[in-house]
């Protein structure tokens, strides 16, 4: 174990830390005294500048903040990163599955390969990371996995169908993990950000099948307006500060084990549709089902709005 990690200091691994929520969460947790491993793709390549900035910050502020190479779409990369963290710090207490990506356009016009790539980032990636860290958490008899979803994980909108589908899938997986690990002192929680100015709007993938895309000409004005509205929302004076999400994740890390809500909605945009558990037919039916099959102890508070 690294001499810098104390016995009561939590070790945190965060994916997708080159920009956005991941980067802010890494800084926030490190400044609060955690041992943080900010992971990203291309540490020695396209993200070398982002990696260097984090390391410079760690040196300047004397933070226990490290950078590690991790591509959530690659089994070997995930295994190597987790091995590196455990070798350096001795354990992993928290894993934040933040890395992901999205596309915008008519669902039909995305090729199967594009959809697979999106699910690889947003669904299989968190599953890979979870499978890699859980044996260590099980050995420690404690742990926390934070899956960063989206309000699109509960509500689908036009032209973001595959992104929403991947986040819906992540939510379902997170619920299953949460139930199944509840007897092992390992929490799995979901953070659902609304729309934030993190630069993700500039990274959205466009449909590859332009011929199919042309068939949606009567609806493309809506797509254009949707994109323009999102751009205005994310660049205007009333845009939510992405730090809200980093603070929400930090708050979850600091809540005692077993008391964390299953879902935390972060930000004011798109939060209106969120309802209390007793008003949500889905949540009510889910509770009835778990109680009916004798799994009532696996239930936890479903939603916290941040």
Q: Are 143 and 241 in contact (CB under 8 A)?
A: no
Give the whole-angstrom CA distance, residue 40 versus residue 71. 7
Is 163 annotated in the active site? yes
| 237 torsion bin: left (phi>0), alpha (psi -120 to 50), beta (else) | alpha
Hey, is 63 helix, strand or coil? Answer: coil
Give the whole-angstrom CA distance, residue 161 versus residue 158. 6
Of the candidates 149, 150, 166, 306, the residue annotated as catalytic is 149
Of the candidates 163, 174, 178, 306, the residue annotated as catalytic is 163
- Say what angle helices 243-254 and 20-31 make with each other, to 10 degrees: 50
Is 167 annotated in the active site? yes
Of the candidates 10, 27, 154, 167, the residue annotated as catalytic is 167
Beta strands in 98-232 (DSSP E): 143-148, 186-193
Hey, is 255 helix, strand or coil? Answer: coil
Is 130 annotated in the active site? no
Query: Residue 134: which residues within 8 A CB-CB, separation 6 or more?
Result: 143, 145, 181, 186
Distances (CA, A) of 129 to 95, 126, 149: 8, 5, 15
Of the candidates 10, 17, 18, 39, the residue annotated as catalytic is 18
Give the whole-angstrom CA distance, residue 167 versus residue 156. 10
Residues with catalytic function: 18, 149, 163, 167
């Amino acid at each position: 174990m690294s001499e810098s990690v104390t016995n009561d200091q939590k070790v945190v691994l965060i994916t997708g830390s080159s920009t956005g929520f991941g980067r802010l969460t890494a800084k926030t947790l490190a400044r609060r005294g955690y041992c943080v491993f900010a992971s990203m793709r291309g540490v020695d390549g396209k993200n070398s500048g982002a990696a260097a900035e984090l390391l410079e910050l760690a040196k300047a502020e004397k933070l226990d903040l490290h950078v590690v190479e991790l591509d959530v779409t690659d089994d070997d990369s995930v295994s190597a990163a987790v091995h590196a963290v455990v070798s350096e710090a001795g354990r992993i207490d928290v894993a934040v599955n933040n890395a992901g990506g999205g596309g915008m356009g008519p669902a039909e016009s995305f090729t199967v390969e594009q959809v697979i790539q999106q699910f690889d980032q947003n669904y299989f990636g968190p599953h890979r990371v979870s499978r890699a860290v859980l044996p260590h958490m099980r050995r420690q008899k404690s742990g926390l996995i934070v899956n960063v979803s989206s309000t699109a994980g509960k509500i689908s909108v036009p032209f973001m169908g595959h992104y929403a589908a991947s986040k819906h899938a992540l939510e379902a997986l997170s619920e299953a993990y949460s139930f199944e690990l509840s007897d092992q002192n390992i929490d799995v929680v979901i953070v659902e950000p609304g729309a934030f100015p993190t630069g993700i709007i500039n990274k959205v993938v466009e449909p590859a099948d332009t011929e199919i895309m042309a068939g949606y000409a009567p609806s493309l004005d809506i797509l254009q307006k949707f994109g323009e509205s999102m751009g205005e929302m994310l660049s205007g004076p009333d845009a939510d500060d992405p730090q809200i999400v980093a603070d929400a994740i930090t708050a979850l890390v600091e809540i005692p084990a077993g008391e964390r809500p299953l879902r935390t909605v972060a930000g004011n945009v798109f939060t209106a549709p969120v309802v209390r558990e007793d008003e949500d037919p889905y949540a009510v039916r889910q509770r009835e089902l778990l109680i009916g099959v004798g799994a009532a102890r696996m239930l936890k508070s479903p939603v916290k709005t941040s």
